Protein backbone atom coordinates (compact mmCIF):
# COMPACT_ATOMS: atom_id res chain seq x y z
CA UNK A 1 0.00 0.00 0.00
CA UNK A 2 1.09 3.57 -0.63
CA UNK A 3 1.07 5.01 2.94
CA UNK A 4 1.48 8.58 1.71
CA UNK A 5 -1.61 8.22 -0.43
CA UNK A 6 -3.56 6.51 2.39
CA UNK A 7 -2.76 9.38 4.74
CA UNK A 8 -4.14 11.83 2.23
CA UNK A 9 -7.82 11.96 3.20
CA UNK A 10 -8.89 13.75 0.02
CA UNK A 11 -11.80 11.68 -1.34
CA UNK A 12 -11.18 9.78 -4.54
CA UNK A 13 -14.78 8.59 -4.72
CA UNK A 14 -17.81 10.66 -3.82
CA UNK A 15 -21.07 8.77 -3.38
CA UNK A 16 -24.03 11.14 -3.56
CA UNK A 17 -27.79 10.78 -3.25
CA UNK A 18 -29.96 12.43 -5.88
CA UNK A 19 -33.17 12.35 -3.87
CA UNK A 20 -36.59 11.15 -4.99
CA UNK A 21 -38.07 14.11 -6.88
CA UNK A 22 -36.47 14.02 -10.31
CA UNK A 23 -33.47 16.44 -10.13
CA UNK A 24 -35.36 18.68 -7.66
CA UNK A 25 -33.85 17.04 -4.57
CA UNK A 26 -30.17 17.40 -5.46
CA UNK A 27 -28.43 19.17 -2.59
CA UNK A 28 -26.00 22.06 -2.95
CA UNK A 29 -23.27 19.80 -1.54
CA UNK A 30 -23.97 17.09 -4.13
CA UNK A 31 -24.10 19.67 -6.92
CA UNK A 32 -20.62 20.89 -6.02
CA UNK A 33 -19.26 17.32 -6.30
CA UNK A 34 -21.02 16.73 -9.62
CA UNK A 35 -19.42 19.84 -11.13
CA UNK A 36 -15.85 18.93 -10.15
CA UNK A 37 -15.81 15.18 -10.80
CA UNK A 38 -13.96 13.83 -13.82
CA UNK A 39 -16.35 10.92 -14.25
CA UNK A 40 -19.97 10.49 -13.11
CA UNK A 41 -21.34 6.96 -12.84
CA UNK A 42 -25.01 6.92 -11.94
CA UNK A 43 -28.05 4.74 -11.26
CA UNK A 44 -31.26 6.74 -11.72
CA UNK A 45 -33.89 6.20 -14.40
CA UNK A 46 -35.46 9.64 -13.96
CA UNK A 47 -36.30 11.71 -17.03
CA UNK A 48 -33.48 14.07 -18.04
CA UNK A 49 -30.97 12.83 -15.47
CA UNK A 50 -28.36 11.67 -17.98
CA UNK A 51 -28.65 14.89 -20.00
CA UNK A 52 -28.24 16.87 -16.80
CA UNK A 53 -25.00 15.04 -15.95
CA UNK A 54 -23.69 15.46 -19.50
CA UNK A 55 -24.11 19.22 -19.14
CA UNK A 56 -21.78 19.23 -16.11
CA UNK A 57 -19.23 16.50 -16.84
CA UNK A 58 -17.39 15.27 -19.92
CA UNK A 59 -17.57 11.59 -18.96
CA UNK A 60 -20.88 10.07 -17.83
CA UNK A 61 -21.77 6.37 -17.49
CA UNK A 62 -25.26 5.04 -16.91
CA UNK A 63 -24.90 1.90 -14.80
CA UNK A 64 -28.45 0.75 -15.47
CA UNK A 65 -26.91 -1.50 -18.14
CA UNK A 66 -25.59 -3.69 -15.30
CA UNK A 67 -29.14 -4.89 -14.74
CA UNK A 68 -30.12 -7.71 -17.09
CA UNK A 69 -33.26 -9.81 -17.02
CA UNK A 70 -32.62 -13.06 -15.20
CA UNK A 71 -29.26 -11.88 -13.87
CA UNK A 72 -28.64 -11.96 -10.14
CA UNK A 73 -28.97 -8.55 -8.53
CA UNK A 74 -25.81 -9.28 -6.56
CA UNK A 75 -23.89 -9.72 -9.83
CA UNK A 76 -25.20 -6.37 -11.04
CA UNK A 77 -24.16 -4.67 -7.80
CA UNK A 78 -20.69 -6.24 -7.96
CA UNK A 79 -20.22 -4.92 -11.50
CA UNK A 80 -21.32 -1.42 -10.48
CA UNK A 81 -18.84 -1.33 -7.61
CA UNK A 82 -16.06 -2.66 -9.84
CA UNK A 83 -16.67 0.01 -12.49
CA UNK A 84 -16.62 2.82 -9.90
CA UNK A 85 -13.41 1.58 -8.27
CA UNK A 86 -11.71 1.08 -11.64
CA UNK A 87 -12.59 4.62 -12.73
CA UNK A 88 -11.26 6.10 -9.48
CA UNK A 89 -7.97 4.23 -9.91
CA UNK A 90 -7.57 5.69 -13.39
CA UNK A 91 -8.45 9.30 -12.58
CA UNK A 92 -9.92 10.67 -9.39
CA UNK A 93 -12.17 12.15 -8.19
CA UNK A 94 -15.18 10.32 -9.52
CA UNK A 95 -18.81 10.52 -8.49
CA UNK A 96 -21.17 7.59 -7.97
CA UNK A 97 -24.68 9.10 -8.00
CA UNK A 98 -27.72 7.10 -6.94
CA UNK A 99 -31.46 7.58 -6.63
CA UNK A 100 -32.58 8.52 -3.12
CA UNK A 101 -30.06 8.26 -0.26
CA UNK A 102 -26.79 6.37 -0.92
CA UNK A 103 -27.01 4.43 2.34
CA UNK A 104 -30.62 3.30 2.07
CA UNK A 105 -31.03 0.08 0.08
CA UNK A 106 -28.01 0.78 -2.14
CA UNK A 107 -25.77 -2.30 -1.82
CA UNK A 108 -23.06 -0.97 -4.19
CA UNK A 109 -22.36 1.76 -1.61
CA UNK A 110 -21.47 -0.93 0.93
CA UNK A 111 -19.26 -2.76 -1.58
CA UNK A 112 -17.38 0.37 -2.65
CA UNK A 113 -16.82 1.52 0.91
CA UNK A 114 -15.60 -1.95 1.96
CA UNK A 115 -13.23 -2.51 -0.97
CA UNK A 116 -11.81 1.01 -1.43
CA UNK A 117 -9.16 0.77 1.37
CA UNK A 118 -7.56 -2.21 -0.39
CA UNK A 119 -6.82 0.12 -3.35
CA UNK A 120 -5.71 3.09 -1.22
CA UNK A 121 -8.89 4.93 -2.19
CA UNK A 122 -10.79 7.29 0.09
CA UNK A 123 -14.58 7.44 -0.04
CA UNK A 124 -16.91 10.20 1.08
CA UNK A 125 -20.67 9.68 1.21
CA UNK A 126 -23.01 12.65 0.92
CA UNK A 127 -26.64 12.24 2.03
CA UNK A 128 -29.67 12.69 -0.16
CA UNK A 129 -33.41 12.85 0.42
CA UNK A 130 -34.54 9.25 0.83
CA UNK A 131 -37.79 7.45 0.13
CA UNK A 132 -38.23 7.24 3.90
CA UNK A 133 -38.13 11.04 4.11
CA UNK A 134 -40.77 11.46 1.41
CA UNK A 135 -43.00 8.61 2.63
CA UNK A 136 -43.30 9.93 6.19
CA UNK A 137 -44.05 13.32 4.65
CA UNK A 138 -46.73 11.86 2.38
CA UNK A 139 -48.26 9.96 5.31
CA UNK A 140 -47.98 12.89 7.73
CA UNK A 141 -46.13 10.79 10.31
CA UNK A 142 -43.72 11.97 12.98
CA UNK A 143 -41.68 8.99 14.29
CA UNK A 144 -41.24 10.91 17.53
CA UNK A 145 -44.76 10.03 18.65
CA UNK A 146 -44.78 6.22 18.49
CA UNK A 147 -41.31 5.32 17.21
CA UNK A 148 -40.84 3.49 13.91
CA UNK A 149 -39.82 0.07 12.62
CA UNK A 150 -38.86 -0.73 9.05
CA UNK A 151 -37.46 -3.79 7.32
CA UNK A 152 -36.75 -5.23 3.93
CA UNK A 153 -39.67 -7.54 3.09
CA UNK A 154 -37.41 -10.49 2.31
CA UNK A 155 -35.49 -9.98 5.55
CA UNK A 156 -38.74 -10.19 7.54
CA UNK A 157 -39.39 -13.63 6.05
CA UNK A 158 -35.85 -14.96 6.39
CA UNK A 159 -35.45 -13.91 10.01
CA UNK A 160 -39.09 -14.32 11.03
CA UNK A 161 -38.84 -10.89 12.59
CA UNK A 162 -41.31 -10.11 15.36
CA UNK A 163 -43.31 -6.94 14.63
CA UNK A 164 -44.63 -4.55 17.27
CA UNK A 165 -48.24 -3.79 16.38
CA UNK A 166 -48.26 -0.60 18.45
CA UNK A 167 -45.42 0.90 16.40
CA UNK A 168 -45.77 2.14 12.77
CA UNK A 169 -44.10 -0.25 10.33
CA UNK A 170 -42.68 0.17 6.83
CA UNK A 171 -41.81 -2.81 4.62
CA UNK A 172 -39.46 -2.05 1.74
CA UNK A 173 -39.43 -3.73 -1.68
CA UNK A 174 -42.43 -6.05 -1.27
CA UNK A 175 -42.59 -6.47 -5.05
CA UNK A 176 -39.31 -8.46 -5.00
CA UNK A 177 -39.89 -10.49 -1.83
CA UNK A 178 -37.58 -13.51 -2.04
CA UNK A 179 -36.54 -12.67 -5.63
CA UNK A 180 -32.81 -12.53 -6.41
CA UNK A 181 -32.92 -12.12 -10.22
CA UNK A 182 -33.63 -8.81 -11.92
CA UNK A 183 -37.07 -8.45 -13.58
CA UNK A 184 -38.15 -12.02 -12.75
CA UNK A 185 -41.32 -12.78 -10.77
CA UNK A 186 -41.08 -16.56 -10.41
CA UNK A 187 -42.34 -17.67 -6.98
CA UNK A 188 -43.32 -14.09 -6.07
CA UNK A 189 -46.94 -14.91 -5.27
CA UNK A 190 -45.90 -17.84 -3.12
CA UNK A 191 -43.42 -15.64 -1.25
CA UNK A 192 -46.01 -12.91 -0.73
CA UNK A 193 -48.47 -15.43 0.70
CA UNK A 194 -45.79 -16.51 3.19
CA UNK A 195 -45.16 -12.91 4.16
CA UNK A 196 -48.90 -12.29 4.55
CA UNK A 197 -49.15 -15.27 6.88
CA UNK A 198 -46.29 -13.87 8.95
CA UNK A 199 -47.98 -10.45 9.20
CA UNK A 200 -51.21 -12.06 10.37
CA UNK A 201 -49.36 -13.35 13.43
CA UNK A 202 -49.19 -9.76 14.67
CA UNK A 203 -52.10 -7.90 13.04
CA UNK A 204 -55.85 -8.60 12.68
CA UNK A 205 -56.84 -9.68 9.16
CA UNK A 206 -59.09 -6.63 8.65
CA UNK A 207 -56.37 -4.16 9.67
CA UNK A 208 -56.05 -1.52 6.94
CA UNK A 209 -52.59 -1.00 5.44
CA UNK A 210 -51.25 0.96 2.46
CA UNK A 211 -49.04 0.42 -0.56
CA UNK A 212 -47.44 3.81 -1.13
CA UNK A 213 -45.03 5.37 -3.59
CA UNK A 214 -43.81 8.95 -3.40
CA UNK A 215 -43.90 11.15 -6.45
CA UNK A 216 -40.79 11.46 -8.62
CA UNK A 217 -42.14 14.48 -10.51
CA UNK A 218 -43.32 17.89 -9.23
CA UNK A 219 -46.77 17.79 -10.87
CA UNK A 220 -47.65 14.20 -9.93
CA UNK A 221 -49.19 13.23 -6.58
CA UNK A 222 -47.97 10.30 -4.49
CA UNK A 223 -49.71 7.00 -5.21
CA UNK A 224 -51.41 5.21 -2.34
CA UNK A 225 -53.62 2.12 -2.30
CA UNK A 226 -55.40 1.12 0.93
CA UNK A 227 -56.48 -2.46 1.58
CA UNK A 228 -56.90 -4.98 4.37
CA UNK A 229 -53.92 -7.03 5.46
CA UNK A 230 -55.75 -10.20 4.37
CA UNK A 231 -55.49 -8.84 0.78
CA UNK A 232 -51.75 -8.17 1.02
CA UNK A 233 -50.38 -10.88 -1.30
CA UNK A 234 -52.98 -10.41 -4.03
CA UNK A 235 -52.72 -6.60 -4.02
CA UNK A 236 -48.93 -6.44 -4.17
CA UNK A 237 -48.74 -9.11 -6.87
CA UNK A 238 -51.29 -7.37 -9.11
CA UNK A 239 -49.89 -3.86 -8.64
CA UNK A 240 -47.74 -2.79 -11.60
CA UNK A 241 -45.74 -0.13 -9.77
CA UNK A 242 -43.12 -0.57 -7.06
CA UNK A 243 -43.87 0.84 -3.62
CA UNK A 244 -43.52 0.28 0.10
CA UNK A 245 -46.00 -1.15 2.58
CA UNK A 246 -47.07 1.08 5.45
CA UNK A 247 -48.72 -0.67 8.41
CA UNK A 248 -50.25 1.75 10.94
CA UNK A 249 -50.29 0.73 14.60
CA UNK A 250 -53.26 -1.30 15.82
CA UNK A 251 -53.17 0.53 19.14
CA UNK A 252 -51.15 2.99 21.16
CA UNK A 253 -49.13 1.47 23.96
CA UNK A 254 -50.68 2.31 27.32
CA UNK A 255 -48.91 4.61 29.75
CA UNK A 256 -47.43 2.49 32.53
CA UNK A 257 -45.78 5.11 34.72
CA UNK A 258 -48.60 7.59 35.40
CA UNK A 259 -46.69 9.38 38.14
CA UNK A 260 -43.80 10.15 35.78
CA UNK A 261 -46.18 11.14 32.96
CA UNK A 262 -48.10 13.50 35.25
CA UNK A 263 -44.91 15.13 36.49
CA UNK A 264 -43.86 15.74 32.88
CA UNK A 265 -47.25 17.25 32.05
CA UNK A 266 -47.02 19.63 35.02
CA UNK A 267 -43.54 20.74 33.98
CA UNK A 268 -44.41 21.19 30.29
CA UNK A 269 -47.73 23.02 30.74
CA UNK A 270 -47.45 26.80 30.85
CA UNK A 271 -49.57 28.89 33.19
CA UNK A 272 -52.00 30.02 30.49
CA UNK A 273 -52.86 26.42 29.56
CA UNK A 274 -53.45 25.51 33.20
CA UNK A 275 -55.74 28.51 33.71
CA UNK A 276 -57.75 27.66 30.58
CA UNK A 277 -58.33 24.08 31.72
CA UNK A 278 -59.26 25.27 35.21
CA UNK A 279 -61.85 27.65 33.76
CA UNK A 280 -63.40 24.81 31.74
CA UNK A 281 -63.77 22.64 34.82
CA UNK A 282 -65.24 25.47 36.95
CA UNK A 283 -67.98 26.49 34.50
CA UNK A 284 -70.59 24.12 35.97
CA UNK A 285 -71.21 22.49 39.32
CA UNK A 286 -71.97 19.11 37.70
CA UNK A 287 -69.53 16.87 35.94
CA UNK A 288 -70.32 18.02 32.40
CA UNK A 289 -68.36 20.86 30.81
CA UNK A 290 -68.18 22.66 27.50
CA UNK A 291 -65.26 24.16 25.63
CA UNK A 292 -66.32 26.37 22.74
CA UNK A 293 -63.97 26.83 19.79
CA UNK A 294 -62.00 23.76 20.83
CA UNK A 295 -61.69 23.02 17.09
CA UNK A 296 -61.62 25.56 14.28
CA UNK A 297 -63.92 25.31 11.25
CA UNK A 298 -60.93 24.17 9.17
CA UNK A 299 -60.14 21.40 11.68
CA UNK A 300 -63.77 20.26 11.63
CA UNK A 301 -63.67 20.15 7.83
CA UNK A 302 -60.50 18.05 7.95
CA UNK A 303 -62.28 15.49 10.13
CA UNK A 304 -65.41 15.49 7.97
CA UNK A 305 -63.32 14.57 4.91
CA UNK A 306 -62.79 11.17 6.54
CA UNK A 307 -66.50 10.33 6.65
CA UNK A 308 -66.69 9.16 3.04
CA UNK A 309 -63.48 7.15 3.40
CA UNK A 310 -64.79 4.98 6.25
CA UNK A 311 -67.48 2.35 5.97
CA UNK A 312 -70.65 3.24 7.87
CA UNK A 313 -72.16 0.73 10.30
CA UNK A 314 -75.48 0.74 12.16
CA UNK A 315 -75.21 2.40 15.57
CA UNK A 316 -75.61 -0.03 18.46
CA UNK A 317 -76.38 0.45 22.17
CA UNK A 318 -74.36 -0.71 25.17
CA UNK A 319 -75.56 -4.27 24.75
CA UNK A 320 -74.11 -4.32 21.23
CA UNK A 321 -77.58 -4.91 19.86
CA UNK A 322 -79.47 -3.03 17.17
CA UNK A 323 -82.41 -1.27 18.83
CA UNK A 324 -84.04 1.13 16.36
CA UNK A 325 -86.50 2.23 19.05
CA UNK A 326 -83.53 3.47 21.10
CA UNK A 327 -81.10 4.67 18.47
CA UNK A 328 -81.08 5.63 14.80
CA UNK A 329 -77.65 6.86 13.76
CA UNK A 330 -75.01 5.19 11.57
CA UNK A 331 -71.44 5.34 12.86
CA UNK A 332 -67.90 5.15 11.54
CA UNK A 333 -64.76 4.46 13.55
CA UNK A 334 -61.70 6.67 13.18
CA UNK A 335 -58.71 4.65 14.41
CA UNK A 336 -55.57 6.45 15.44
CA UNK A 337 -52.94 5.66 12.79
CA UNK A 338 -55.29 5.00 9.87
CA UNK A 339 -55.38 8.73 9.12
CA UNK A 340 -51.92 10.00 10.15
CA UNK A 341 -52.90 13.55 9.20
CA UNK A 342 -55.31 13.53 12.17
CA UNK A 343 -52.81 12.42 14.80
CA UNK A 344 -52.93 15.93 16.29
CA UNK A 345 -56.64 15.41 17.05
CA UNK A 346 -56.00 12.42 19.32
CA UNK A 347 -53.30 14.29 21.21
CA UNK A 348 -55.47 17.36 21.68
CA UNK A 349 -58.56 15.48 22.94
CA UNK A 350 -56.52 13.06 25.06
CA UNK A 351 -55.08 15.98 27.02
CA UNK A 352 -58.58 17.28 27.92
CA UNK A 353 -59.68 13.81 29.06
CA UNK A 354 -56.53 13.43 31.15
CA UNK A 355 -57.05 16.80 32.86
CA UNK A 356 -60.75 16.09 33.49
CA UNK A 357 -59.88 12.77 35.10
CA UNK A 358 -57.20 14.38 37.26
CA UNK A 359 -59.59 17.11 38.43
CA UNK A 360 -62.63 14.96 39.22
CA UNK A 361 -62.18 11.21 39.18
CA UNK A 362 -58.51 10.42 39.71
CA UNK A 363 -59.09 6.94 38.29
CA UNK A 364 -56.20 4.75 37.07
CA UNK A 365 -56.35 6.02 33.49
CA UNK A 366 -56.21 3.43 30.70
CA UNK A 367 -56.82 5.64 27.67
CA UNK A 368 -59.11 5.97 24.67
CA UNK A 369 -61.31 2.93 24.02
CA UNK A 370 -60.00 0.93 21.03
CA UNK A 371 -57.75 3.93 20.34
CA UNK A 372 -60.57 5.15 18.11
CA UNK A 373 -63.10 7.94 17.89
CA UNK A 374 -66.64 7.31 16.68
CA UNK A 375 -67.95 9.53 13.91
CA UNK A 376 -71.73 9.68 14.39
CA UNK A 377 -74.27 10.89 11.83
CA UNK A 378 -77.87 11.91 12.54
CA UNK A 379 -79.90 12.63 9.40
CA UNK A 380 -83.60 13.54 9.34
CA UNK A 381 -85.37 11.34 11.90
CA UNK A 382 -82.10 10.27 13.54
CA UNK A 383 -81.91 10.24 17.34
CA UNK A 384 -80.49 8.50 20.41
CA UNK A 385 -82.75 8.28 23.45
CA UNK A 386 -81.66 8.63 27.09
CA UNK A 387 -78.72 6.37 27.95
CA UNK A 388 -75.40 6.16 29.75
CA UNK A 389 -72.07 5.27 28.18
CA UNK A 390 -70.92 3.43 31.31
CA UNK A 391 -71.62 -0.26 31.91
CA UNK A 392 -70.02 -2.99 34.02
CA UNK A 393 -68.68 -4.56 30.84
CA UNK A 394 -67.38 -1.34 29.32
CA UNK A 395 -65.37 0.43 31.98
CA UNK A 396 -65.86 3.90 30.54
CA UNK A 397 -65.13 6.81 32.85
CA UNK A 398 -65.09 9.87 30.60
CA UNK A 399 -67.13 10.65 27.48
CA UNK A 400 -66.22 13.23 24.86
CA UNK A 401 -68.40 14.71 22.09
CA UNK A 402 -67.44 17.37 19.54
CA UNK A 403 -69.92 19.25 17.35
CA UNK A 404 -68.64 19.10 13.75
CA UNK A 405 -71.45 20.80 11.80
CA UNK A 406 -72.55 24.46 11.81
CA UNK A 407 -75.73 24.78 13.92
CA UNK A 408 -77.61 26.43 11.05
CA UNK A 409 -77.13 23.35 8.85
CA UNK A 410 -79.64 21.22 10.81
CA UNK A 411 -82.69 21.48 13.07
CA UNK A 412 -83.26 19.43 16.22
CA UNK A 413 -80.42 17.08 17.15
CA UNK A 414 -79.69 18.69 20.53
CA UNK A 415 -77.33 16.92 22.90
CA UNK A 416 -79.01 17.02 26.33
CA UNK A 417 -77.44 15.91 29.61
CA UNK A 418 -78.82 15.31 33.10
CA UNK A 419 -76.40 17.05 35.46
CA UNK A 420 -76.48 18.36 39.02
CA UNK A 421 -78.07 21.50 37.57
CA UNK A 422 -80.86 19.54 35.90
CA UNK A 423 -81.20 18.86 32.18
CA UNK A 424 -78.94 21.11 30.15
CA UNK A 425 -78.48 21.48 26.40
CA UNK A 426 -74.94 21.42 25.08
CA UNK A 427 -73.99 24.35 22.86
CA UNK A 428 -74.37 23.61 19.16
CA UNK A 429 -71.54 25.91 18.13
CA UNK A 430 -69.27 24.23 15.64
CA UNK A 431 -66.03 22.96 17.19
CA UNK A 432 -67.48 22.84 20.73
CA UNK A 433 -66.16 19.99 22.90
CA UNK A 434 -68.41 18.46 25.54
CA UNK A 435 -66.75 16.35 28.25
CA UNK A 436 -68.72 14.51 30.94
CA UNK A 437 -68.57 11.48 33.20
CA UNK A 438 -69.74 8.36 31.38
CA UNK A 439 -72.43 7.62 33.99
CA UNK A 440 -74.24 10.82 33.01
CA UNK A 441 -77.64 10.28 31.36
CA UNK A 442 -77.75 12.00 27.99
CA UNK A 443 -79.55 11.89 24.66
CA UNK A 444 -79.64 13.37 21.16
CA UNK A 445 -83.07 14.65 20.26
CA UNK A 446 -84.52 13.79 16.82
CA UNK A 447 -83.15 15.71 13.84
CA UNK A 448 -85.99 17.28 11.87
CA UNK A 449 -83.95 18.77 9.04
CA UNK A 450 -80.41 18.51 7.68
CA UNK A 451 -77.57 16.36 9.03
CA UNK A 452 -75.84 16.53 12.42
CA UNK A 453 -72.41 14.93 12.59
CA UNK A 454 -70.25 14.66 15.67
CA UNK A 455 -67.09 13.02 16.96
CA UNK A 456 -67.43 10.86 20.07
CA UNK A 457 -64.89 9.08 22.27
CA UNK A 458 -64.81 7.16 25.53
CA UNK A 459 -61.94 6.91 27.99
CA UNK A 460 -61.49 3.79 30.09
CA UNK A 461 -60.20 3.22 33.59
CA UNK A 462 -58.30 0.22 34.87
CA UNK A 463 -60.66 -2.22 36.61
pLDDT tens column, 76-85: 999 999 999 9
- For 398-447, what is each residue's pLDDT tens digit? 999 999 999 999 999 999 998 766 678 899 999 999 999 888 889 999 99
Amino acid 365: pLDDT: 74
Report the candidate in 428, 442, 432, 354 with the shortest Cα–Cα distance to residue 398: 354
For residue 383, which of 310, 318, 437, 317 has the smallest C-alpha distance? 317
pLDDT tens, position by position, 109-125: 999 999 999 999 999 99
On whether residue 253 sits in a domain, the answer given is no
User: For residue 282, what are the contacts with CB-CB under 8 A and spacing of at least 6?
Assistant: none
One domain for residues 137 and 207: yes
End residue of a domain, out of 77, 107, 129: 129
pLDDT score of 1 more than 50: no
Boundary residue ending a domain (86, 102, 129): 129
Give dist(CA 335, CA 292) in Å, integer: 24
The count of structural domains within the chain is: 3
User: What letters, b where the CB count within 10 A reaches 16 and e where it falls short, cover 32-58?
Assistant: ebbeebebbbbbbebeebbebbeeebe
Cα separation, 53 vs 51, whole angstroms: 5
Q: What CATH number should be reported for the domain holding residue 71?
A: 3.40.1010.10
Residues 263 and 399 in one domain: yes
Mean pLDDT of 138-159: 90
Eight-class DSSP state of 301: H
pTM confidence score:
0.60
Half-sphere exposure of 19 (CA within 13 A, CB side): 18
Q: Is residue 252 part of a domain?
A: no
Q: Are strands 94-98 and 13-17 parallel, antiparallel or unpaired?
A: parallel
CA pair distance 156, 176, nearest whole angstrom? 13
| % of the chain residues with pLDDT over 70 | 89
Same domain, 224 and 275: no
Q: Tell whether 136 and 124 lie within a shared domain.
A: no
Integer-rounded Cα radius of gyration of the chain: 28
266: containing domain: 258-461
DSSP per-residue letters across 362-416: ---EEEEGGGEEEEEEE-TT-EEEEE-S--SSS-EEEEEEEE-S-GGGEEE--EE
Tens-digit pLDDT profile for residues 11-32: 999 999 999 987 899 999 999 9
Helix 271-281 and helix 343-356: axis angle, to 10°? 60
Residue 181 placed within a domain: yes
- Which tens digits make up the pLDDT trace of 210-248? 999 999 888 888 999 999 999 999 999 999 888 999 998
Are 51 and 73 members of one domain?
Answer: yes
- Range of weakest confidence among 46-60, 90-104, 261-275, 334-348: 261-275
153 and 104 within one domain: no
**With the CA atoms of 308, 310, 312 and 318 taken in that order, what torsion angle do they form, in degrees rounded to the nearest 10?**
-140
Amino acid sequence: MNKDRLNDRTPHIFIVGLGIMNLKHITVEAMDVIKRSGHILFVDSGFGVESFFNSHCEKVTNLASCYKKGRSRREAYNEMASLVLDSALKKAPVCFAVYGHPNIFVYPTYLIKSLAPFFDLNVKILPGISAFDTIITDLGIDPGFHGFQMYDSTDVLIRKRPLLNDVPCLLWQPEVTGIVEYSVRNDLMQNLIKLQGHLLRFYPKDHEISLIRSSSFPLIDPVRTNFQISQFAETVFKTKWAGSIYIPPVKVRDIKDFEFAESMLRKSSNKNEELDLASIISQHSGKAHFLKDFLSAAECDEILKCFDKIEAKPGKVNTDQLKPEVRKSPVRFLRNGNFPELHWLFQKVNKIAYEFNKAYLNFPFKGLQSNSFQLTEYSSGGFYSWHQDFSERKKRSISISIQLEPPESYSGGSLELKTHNGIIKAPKDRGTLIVFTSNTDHRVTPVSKGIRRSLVGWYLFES
